[in-house]
Amino acid sequence: MAQQIEAALVILRRKQVEARCGLSRSSIYRRIGDGTFPRPVTLSGGRAVGWIEREVEEFLARCIAQRDRKAAA
């Protein structure tokens, strides 16, 4: 349970998200606009943003599941 709480509180910055997902900055923001990528959280001062690690991992899991469904069809 403590690991779940800890994972929910990890914030990734844009460069970390790009590295994990293999997406460019523009692709991330385009997908946010499409509603297919998690929205960022505004951090101190309003100019800095970050993403909740768990939500990014869930996005990647959905991508993998979609790939597997297509392969099975």
* Confidence bin at 8 (pLDDT 50/70/90): low
Greater confidence (8 vs 11) lies with: 11
Q: Are 8 and 48 in contact (CB under 8 A)?
A: no
* Confidence bin at 70 (pLDDT 50/70/90): confident
Q: CA dist 58 to 2, 23, 54, Å?
A: 19, 15, 6
CATH class of the domain whose range is 2-72: mainly alpha
Mean pLDDT value across residues 19-43: 97
The whole-number pLDDT of residue 5 equals: 61
